[in-house]
Every structure is written in C-alpha cells, then in structure tokens.
Structure 1
Amino acid sequence: MLMKSIAAGLAGTALLATVAFAQNPTTTTDKSAPAASATTTSASGEWRASKMAGVKVYNEANENIGSINDLLMDKSGAVKIAVIGVGGFLGMGEHLVAVPYEKLKFVNEAVAYTGTGANPANPNAKPAATTTTGAATGTDKTATTTSSSSSKWYPDHAVFNATKDQLKSMPEFKYSE
C-alpha cells in the first residue's frame, strides 16, 4: 500500500512538471527594462505603532506607573486613546485603563534614575552623564541618565500625570465585542 502511494505521488509530480515545461514564455516587443525608481521614502523621526505596545509609562516623579497595551484610533486614523496596563505580574491581574492620547507626553531620552547602585530600568547600562533634572514637582534632583538611540522607531517612555494608585482607581477599560 505504501509503495502504491509513493508511486502515485511521483506520477502526479511528473505530470505537473511536464505541464509547467510545456508552457511557452510570453514574449514582449518592448526590450527595455522598466526604469527602476531611484527614490525611497524615509520616515525619519516617526514611530511604528507596532512598537508602541509595551512602552513604559512614568509619572512626573519618574515612578513607573504602567505600560502601553494598545492604541485606539478613530476612523480617520488619528490616535485618540492609549490603553495603559497598571499593576499585575506578567499580564496577570493587570488593570487596563483608557487615557486620552494627547495627555501622554513621549520622551526619547532614558528615564532619569535618582538612586544608588544599578538602574532598575536598565541594570546593564553604564552611566552616560550626571545631570540635574527638574521634575514637575519643582525639586531639582541629581540623576544619572543613559543614552538612547533615536533610531529605535519608538519613544523611550511616556509620561502621564498620575500615580499608580490613581490609575488603578480609574474605571477598568474593557474591549466591547
């Protein structure tokens, strides 16, 4: 039975191959090749929407308050809402909230770390510089920052003016079916 199946498969393959070889190539009277487009489109400074999921969200005191789970847009393609995941562990017990997209401020520089020891946001990073940053609280802090690449196609992080507890107390966002 196995030999019959193999023989039938080989015969079918041979028939299909002969049909493909029997076809004549189409000929064209125009021998010149179409002109190749020498222009390319560049999107320097733009962000890829597919890379925005997972971008960390910090408050103005540089405390991690969550991460972007999704971006919702209107029918014209303008992003209107950012869905932020707050709390939880590895996606379990995470509280989703919807915030107006225009309330987020995106930053390309790494978050200023104000503690001693390794930076929890990037423990392998070497300090690039010591700077003085003024958070929204009006206090000056000496912080160590790490450099970030501007060619990542997504911002380093977003800033939203709320605490983690305030986000957790917001109504939970549910996708309607």
Structure 2
Amino acid sequence: MLMKSIAAGLAGTALLATVAFAQSPTTTTDKAAPAATATTTTTTASGEWRASKMSGLKVYNDANENIGSINDLLMDKSGAIKIAVIGVGGFLGMGEHLVAVPYEKLKFVNEAVASTTTTRPATTTTTGAATGTEKTTTTTAPATSSTSSTSKWYPDHAVFNASKDELKNMPEFKYSE
C-alpha cells in the first residue's frame, strides 16, 4: 500500500513538472527587451500618532495627578477628531464615569510624568562646633524624574486642566443608539 502511494505521488509530480516545462516564455530577437523599472513607493508618517494607540492613554492634570484615561475619540464626518471620551474613577472598568471633553482642550506630552520617588545616593554635610563635641548631620537625597524615550507612534500621556472630582461632577457621556 505504501509503495502504491509513493508511486502515485511521483507520477503526479512528473506530470506537473512536464506541464511547467512546456510553458517556456517566448522571446523576440528583433527588439531589445525594455528594462523593467520597479519603483517602490513608501509613505512615511513621521510625527503622526496612531489612533489605535490613543485608547487607554492616561490623562493627567496640571499637578501631575492621574485623573483618568482616554476611552474613545469621536470625529465628525470630515474625519477631524472633535471629542475625547475620558474614563474617570472605577476599578477594572466597574463604576467608571465617562465624560466627553473637547479634543482641542487636551495637550499631549511625549515626556514621562515627573516621578515623585527619590533615589538614595545622598550627600552628607556635617556641621558642628570647633571643639568637635556637637555634630549635626543632614542627609539630602535629590529628587529625580524619569523621562521615557519619545515614542514616534503615540504620546506618553495627555494633560487636561481639571481635577478628578471636577471630571466626576461633569455630566456622564452615553453613546446614543
């Protein structure tokens, strides 16, 4: 049985190979073939952001407090984005309050939000009396902020000038049917 399958496979392959060889390209000797020019056009969009990456983008206020995240972007019929739907509060999508804010009121930032954590490489200064009996030691650790590398396809975060409570007090946005 195995030998019959192998023989049938070889016969089928031979038939296909002869059909492929029979189709040889025709050549003309009276003219030289024109050189094929392959032009590949690529479009780049440097400085543009992907709309798919805007959903879930964190929104901060001017005091660097996280006030929510972008849930959706609404555009008019011409394709211009007019409204950003921001989700405020809630936990794992439960109890989230959606508000609609004008898109032009959002400011997008490529740098990461300044971190409030401090590092421990500290400088120590010692002051005291000339006799050396009284010493006061002060240790200060400089606050550092981390900055991320700028993403070329979406911003790091958005800034909207409102507090979380102000957004929660705004009328809730609902999608009409």
Which structure is larger by alpha-carbon Rg, 1 or 2? Answer: 2
Q: How does 1:78-93 map to 2 (within 5 A)?
A: 78-93=80-95
Aligned ranges 1:135-150 → 2 under 5 Å: 144-150=144-150
1:62 matched to 2:56: no
The 3-state SS of whatever aligns with 1:80 is strand
The question of whether the paired residues in 1 share the 8 Å contact of 2:69 and 2:87 is answered with yes
Match of 1:71 among 70, 73, 92: 73
Q: Does 1:107 align with 2:109?
A: yes
Distance 1:45 1:167, change over 3 A: same
- Cα distance, 1:150 vs. partner? 2.2
What TM-score results when the alignment is normalised by the length of structure 2? 0.65
1:44 aligns with 2:57: no
Count of matched residue positions in the alignment of Structure 1 and Structure 2 = 135
Give the drift of 1:41: 1.3
Name the CA distance, whole Å, in 2 between partners of 1:99 and 1:53: 15
Q: Which residue of 1 aligns with 2:160?
A: 160
1:95 to 97, 104, 107: 97
Identity level (%): 80
Return the alpha-carbon distance in structure 1 between the equivalents of residues 72 and 174 of structure 2.
12
Q: In the aligned structure 1, how far is the partner of 2:171 from the partner of 2:78?
A: 27
Where structure 2 has 5 or more consecutive residues not aligned to the other structure, the ranges are: 1-15, 120-141
In 1: Cα distance, 2:149 partner to 2:76 partner: 30
Do the aligned partners of 1:112 and 1:143 also contact (CA within 8 Å) in 2? no
CA distance in 2, matches of 1:71, 1:42: 23
- Is the CA contact 2:59–2:66 (under 8 Å) kept in the aligned structure 1? yes
- Specify the code of the residue in structure 2 equivalent to 1:101: Y
Instruction: Tell me the distance in 1 between the aligned counterparts of 2:109 and 2:148.
Output: 10
Structure 1 residue ranges without an equivalent (≥5): 1-17, 118-141
* Paired residue type of 2:42: T
